[in-house]
Amino acid sequence: MKCKKLLVGALALSMVLSMAACGSSSGEKDAKDGEKTKLYVVNWKDYGSDDADFIAAFEEEYNCEIVNTYMSSEEELLTKLRTSKEGDIDVCLPNCTILPAAINEGLLEQVDTSKLTNFDSMFERFKTQKECFKDDKMYAVPFVWGSTAIAYNTEVIKEAPKSMSALFDKAYAGKIAFRDDYNDAVMSAAIVLGQDPNNPSDLDAIKAKLIEQKALNKTYWKTGDEFSKLFAGKQIDLGLMWSGQAAAMKKDNQPISFVVPEDGAIGWVDNWAIPSGSQNKDLAYAFIDWMISKDFQYNWASKGGPAPVNQAAAEAIDPEYAASAGMDEASLNRLYFMEYRTDEVKNTWNELWTEVKAE
Amino acid sequence: MKNNKRVMTLPGMAVLFFCAIVPLFIMLAYSFQSDSGTGFTLENYSRFFTKTFYLTLTLRTIVNSLLVTVISLLLSYPLAYIMAKHLKGLKNIVMVLLIIPFFTNQLVRVYSWLIFLQDGGVFERLMNTLGLVDGTMGLLYTRAAVIIGLIHAFFPYMVITIYMALERLDNSLLEASSCLGASKTTTFFRVVLPMSMPGVITGIMIVFVPCLGTFVEPRILGGVNGTVIGTVIEDQFFEIYGWNFGAAIAFILLAMVLVSMAAINRLGRRYEG
């Protein structure tokens, strides 16, 4: 109840603030020659695109000013897009779970890929990312991707697990940390059962499999930090884990390795999009182009960011690091990317997962 | 004069109204709304009562809260009694010790328990050294761990309310009782306990009610078995934006709280006057 109150308050406040900001900027833009054009970007905090060095370089190159606002969830971004006035946002960062809704509601501009010089250097997989399209028209440009698969302790498990069923294997009973997330749970069980993870055919079988799996866990984890503590304390030997977190733990000299098993794992993609009514479309294109450039993507990924969509950037990364972070092309091709889900599907899956946890 | 007093309540009442009553009614409205957004519906409530696992979880939550309340009471009463009647300067130190945990963040407290209770943790090593337990205890990620964490979080409230009731209890009453020939046990059961009942009842309410809504301790300390109804509400709000259903569960819980408070109050009235 409290959170609801806060959210309503925050929403009202952000609307008031964004209107105030917008009112002053559009007035001043025309009035003063010296005033720089402002590019309004909505993104995640500390997510590469708000890096101070990058912002300075971009502002210098295009004689503009980047104004960052942050989102705390994908749903919040969708609400922002629905409630903001034209021109409030120039660029935003939706992932595939909300993209189709935003496109269908006409909240996004169509993307003209000929304006992006770096578009061609993207992996083929991402040039055709299906959530970005409607009626063969593109509305968003993939930016980075990552995976949720298996991380394991290399001191205990000598050979990399070949299948997601390792997470369901009695041999590791009591040494597994599974994730407390309805989406990851349903998708991983579907992979093990040979169903389509994005459109599972037999939810009862998935539920039974997850209930069976429950007994094998040390615990369910929710935040990356929880997993990391369990792992460092040798309480677990393997678990369902994010590629990025596993890479960060490896950099901390943990005996951890990350693998996207042969039968596949879960993937996600973040995309840049231009909301309808953006007043600075050229600048927005320049921004997106910069974001998918080899230099930017290489620098960020090798500093521990998510995996690049730019093939040249991906190839420039140390292959050993890329493989251990699940960033290599072989891993990429094995992923089932998370798709948009209707509220009804989300509800059904979440209820299934609650039932498993209540068991 | 009377008018003046009424004016002075206005700021407080306004805060209560806008920060507690209004949001509550907004949430009530949500709980009667369908996800598809068409008008008044009871589907959120019926969904809760037709799925057995929601009831299972609610029952589990209530049993947990009762356990926490009873154990807290058993721990608190003797402590409060000794503080009120036997400790002089020392009771301030005990009070500070009781209050200090409130200065630390809830998550920090929960994580301390995590480290304390885990396999190979401080508690296990202590038990092994003392020879009370041999090998792994497997205490963390069980229901017992959840109960321990919750007792630690809530029992100080119980101690403080009982202590305050006992502190008010006039010692001359105890002397009178003993002068009239009552033994210590009789004095306790006929004088001390009835007179401290208001404190005990407030304590029970103050521990039982918030216990029903917790989700952090059960989730972190309970592992795979730590799902309670509070977790379900949290999931509805944060994971799938099911505010309507989340609000409905919250109101069902609120109704249960009100009913149990009424019952406890009725119990309390017997000791009044």
Asked if A235 and B118 come within 8 Å (Cβ–Cβ), the reply is yes
* Residue with token string 């300067």: B89
Distance from CA of A112 to the nearest CA of B (A): 33
> Among residues A164, A143, A141, A140, which one has the least CA distance to residue A152?
A164
Which of A235, A347, A358 lies nearest to residue B227, judging by beta carbons?
A: A358
B44: exposed, middle or buried (Cβ count in 10 Å: 0-12, 13-18, 19+): buried
Q: Is B180 on the interface with A (CB under 8 A)?
A: no
Low-confidence residues in chain A, pLDDT < 50: 1-3, 7, 11-32
What's the DSSP call for residue A157?
-
> What residue in A sits closest to B27 (Cα-Cα)?
A1
CB distance from A180 to chain B under 8 Å? Answer: yes
Model confidence pLDDT, tens digit, residues A27-48: 344 444 567 899 999 998 888 8
Right CATH for A37-145+268-328 from 3.90.550.10, 3.40.50.300, 3.30.360.10, 3.40.190.10: 3.40.190.10
A135 touches chain B (CB under 8 A): no
pLDDT for the residue numbered A48: 86
Chain B hits for A350, CB-CB cut-off 8 Å, are 235-236, 239-240, 242
Mutation target for B interface from A214, A351, A356: give the one with most B CBs within 10 A: A351
Asked if A219 and B141 come within 8 Å (Cβ–Cβ), the reply is: yes
Would you kindly state where each structural domain of chain A is located, as residue ranges?
A: 37-145+268-328, 146-266+339-358
Query: Is the minimum CB–CB distance between B51 and chain A shorter than 8 Å?
Result: yes
Query: Which of B118, B224, B245 is nearest residue A217 as measured by Cβ atoms?
Result: B224
What are the C-alpha distances in Å from B55 to residues A59, B44, B48, B61, B211? 57, 14, 8, 10, 17
Residues 6+ apart with CB under 8 A from A208: none
Which token pair is B271? 């000791």
Looking up tokens 């390792």 gives: A166
- B57–A358 CB contact, under 8 Å: yes
Question: Is A181 exposed, middle or buried (CB count within 10 Å of its CB: 0-12, 13-18, 19+)?
Answer: buried
Domains A37-145+268-328 and A146-266+339-358 share a fold: yes
Q: Which helix (H) or strand (E) holds B107?
A: helix B106-117
pLDDT for position A208: 97
CA distance A68 to B11: 38
Inter-chain CB proximity A3 and B238 less than 8 Å: yes
Q: Which of A346, A238, A272 is nearest to A108 (CA)?
A: A272
Sign of CA dihedral A318, A319, A325, A326: positive
> B213 vs chain A: nearest CA distance in angstroms?
11
Q: What CA dihedral angle connects B103, B104, B106 and B110, to 10 degrees?
A: -140
Q: Which residues of B touch A4 (CB under 8 A)?
A: 23, 26-27, 30, 237, 243, 247
Task: Identify the pLDDT of residue A24.
Answer: 41
Q: State which residues of chain B have pLDDT below 50.
A: 273
CA closest to B24 among chain A residues: A1
Separation of alpha carbons B185 and A352, rounded Å: 55
Q: Which two tokens stand for residue A48?
A: 């590469």
A221 and chain B: CB distance < 8 Å anywhere?
A: no
Domain A146-266+339-358 classification at class level: alpha beta
Residues 332-351 of A with CB under 8 A from B: 343, 346-347, 350-351
Q: Is the ipTM of this complex over 0.90?
A: no
Residue of A nearest to B254 (CA): A1
Shortest Cα distance from A256 to chain B (angstroms)? 21
Q: Is B247 in Cβ contact with A4 (below 8 Å)?
A: yes
Q: Name which of B30, B53, B224 is nearest A220 (Cβ-Cβ).
A: B224
Contact A347 B35 (CB under 8 A): yes
Residues in chain B within 8 Å Cβ distance of A226: 220
Q: What are phi and psi of A34, to 5 degrees?
A: -70, -20
Chain A residue with minimal CA distance to B26?
A5
Q: How far is A222 from chain B (nearest CA, A)?
A: 9
Cα separation, A222 vs A245, whole angstroms: 13
A212 touches chain B (CB under 8 A): no
- From CA B74, how far away is CA B32, in angstroms rounded? 41
d(CA B226, CA B141): 7
SS3 A339: coil
Concatenate the DSSP letters of all residues of B188-206 into one string. IIIIIHHHHHHHHHHHHHH
Q: Do B119 and A235 touch (CB under 8 A)?
A: yes
The reply to whether residue A235 touches residue B237, judged by beta carbons under 8 angstroms, is no
Q: Which residues of B176-214 are buried (b: 16+ CB within 10 A; e: fewer)?
A: ebeeeebeeeebbeebbeebbbbbbbbbbbbbbbbbbbb
CA distance A189 to chain B (A): 17
Instruction: Give B27's contacts in chain A (Cβ within 8 Å).
Output: 1, 4
* CB contact A225 to B (< 8 Å): no
Query: pTM, whole model, 2 decimals?
Result: 0.84
Q: Is A312 helix (H, G, I), strand (E, B) or coil?
A: helix
Contact across the interface for A180 and B219, Cβ inside 8 Å? yes
